[in-house]
Structure 1
Amino acid sequence: MVITGAGTGIGRAAAHQFAAEGARVLIAGRTPARLEETAAAHPSISAFPADGAAADGPERIVEAAMRRLGRIDVLVNNAAITRPAALGTIDRRSAEEQIAINLLAPLFLAQAALPHLAAARGTIVNVSSNPPWGGWPDNSVYGSTKVALDFLTATWAVELAPKGVRVVSVAPGITATPVLAHAGFTPEQIAAAGEGLVERIPLGRVAQPAEIAWWIVNVARPEAAYLTGTVVRVDGGLSVAAGQKA
């Protein structure tokens, strides 16, 4: 199996959980040191530094997976970045980088892996985020890429069902990952943003990466063989609270 963005957070937790259950995992990402930290936890995790958004990135990742693992039965499209900005202040380069990493990279990685996924009657898991029915100030680009990823899940589920390939989105809510730190936010800014968000979550807390990873692992199980085209929202009730306090 292949997991992108596995150097930290949800991707790392998913790699560890898959490996603990006996899977052989190739993890891909742009930061070699973080990948090696993830891989150090289990001998069946193999690190492959690569930029999935590069023109040759998807093919390189697939080639490495086939060379090291011999098959691809699960593809987890987890890598993503966010660069929050309100309309009027959006930087073109940042917008293009988000679209390339969050949307185009999963698309072309799935396309490159498709012959192998079809041979294994495998599963694609797209890690998305926010639902399409509410606005998200300062996140025009990031939010749009994640809604688009859910659309790809629905479309691919229909297209690929005849090939025996399932496609599922796991959509986390607010999760304790370093994504905002990677975007350049200070610890104080992250803490302030978190306080406001927790007030809107019915369960009253943010998720831990392992809680999201549990769903990624389980939707890929053989027992989930009748699940496809679905968005599994793991957000503590945030999406159904419609922005209201619990």
Structure 2
Amino acid sequence: MSNSPEDDVRRVAIVTGAGTGIGRSVARELAAQGHRVLIVGRSEQALVDTMGSDDSIYPLATDITREDAPAAIVSTALDKLGRIDILINNAGLAEPSELSGLTGDSIDRQVAVNLRAPMLLTRQATEALTAARGVVINLSSAGVLGRRGWPQFSVYGATKVGLDFLTRTWAVELAPRGIRVLSVAPGVVDRGPGGPMGADAEQYDQFLAEIAKRTPLQRVGKPDDVAWWIAQLVKPEAAFATGTIFVIDGGISVT
């Protein structure tokens, strides 16, 4: 099985939600390994920040929940880069709420980003992925594994359970086409304050400290921890792996 630098240079990846966090780290890691990467996100400036000075990263600012987004993303990749080898369905949305506070709009937004968009984008990219004997990586969550509930994250968690089911099903459906499908399930990853895990720096730091104490490795994850594993899973050497959920959480899910 060939994995020469020339092979890597020709490989093309699409990464959604690449303006921040895990998506940004994945895009940079894949580019560092010689891939050309189409990064997708809502904020053009965030995508420019992800690119930096790397001329192997190409930005596309769009809302992945738009009806025309899947066709636009795939056509942009094919027109600019000529092929699609890797699809990273990373974009995600969490709007924490207890059941009593849930609204239909909030449910629809989370389902649209976390579940519907990956389904439609993967469908749109299937022909190109078939030609490349490519790989799809769905970003799930270690928080939905096991038997514990996750208060305030019922909708988000339900979408990630659904995404894992898609991973297992697509792995079977797309295997005859030579396409592998995997889920990567991070635990708590330090992405900075201001998100759903903490409204301000003090609250956020306290949350991370509490999670670190419960984690066997005594720390929370970093975006680069997840990006490194994704970069390994898309390599040709990983060609026998499909339909599996890879957990990257410092061991907290087994405690």
Q: Is 1:199 matched up with 2:179?
A: no
With normalisation by structure 2, the TM-score equals 0.91
Unpaired stretches in structure 2, ≥5 consecutive residues:
1-12
**Cα distance in 1, alignment partners of residues 146 and 47 from structure 2:** 32
User: Alpha-carbon deviation of 1:65?
Assistant: 0.7
Give the letter aligned to residue 146 of structure 1: K
**Cα distance in 1, alignment partners of residues 155 and 194 from structure 2:** 18
**Cα distance in 1, alignment partners of residues 247 and 191 from structure 2:** 17
Equivalent residue for 1:237? 251
Q: Let me know the Cα RMSD of the aligned residues.
A: 1.3
**Cα distance in 1, alignment partners of residues 136 and 254 from structure 2:** 26
Equivalent residue for 1:134? 148
**Cα distance in 1, alignment partners of residues 73 and 158 from structure 2:** 25
Within-5 A mapping of 1:65-144: 65-129=77-141, 130=143, 131=145, 133-144=147-158
Tell me whether 180-189 or 101-110 shows the greater mean CA deviation.
180-189
**Cα distance in 1, alignment partners of residues 91 and 103 from structure 2:** 21
Query: Following TM superposition, where does structure 1 have runs of at least 4 consecutive aligned residues deviating by more than 6 angstroms?
Result: none
Unpaired stretches in structure 1, ≥5 consecutive residues:
242-246
Equivalent residue for 1:244? none
**Cα distance in 2, alignment partners of residues 12 and 85 from structure 1:** 27
Give the SS at the match of 1:112.
helix
Within-5 A mapping of 1:132-171: 133-171=147-185
Which of the numbers 160, 170, 194 marks the counterpart of 1:181? 194
User: Alpha-carbon deviation of 1:182?
Assistant: 4.0
With normalisation by structure 1, the TM-score equals 0.94
**Cα distance in 2, alignment partners of residues 213 and 95 from structure 1:** 28
**Does the 8 A contact of 1:5 with 1:29 survive in 2?**
yes
**Does the 8 A contact of 1:202 with 1:238 survive in 2?**
yes
Aligned length: 240
Equivalent residue for 1:11? 23
User: Alpha-carbon deviation of 1:59?
Assistant: 1.1
After superposition, give the CA deviation of every residue in 1:59-118 in whole Å (9 maximum; x if it has no partner). 111111111111000000000011111110113212211110011111110000000001
After superposition, give the CA deviation of every residue in 1:154-175 in whole Å (9 maximum; x if it has no partner). 0000000000000011110110
After superposition, give the CA deviation of every residue in 1:117-165 in whole Å (9 maximum; x if it has no partner). 0111000000110215321111001111111111110000000000000
**Cα distance in 2, alignment partners of residues 196 and 89 from structure 1:** 26
Equivalent residue for 1:24? 36
The percentage of counterpart residues that share the same residue type is 47
Give the SS at the match of 1:52.
coil
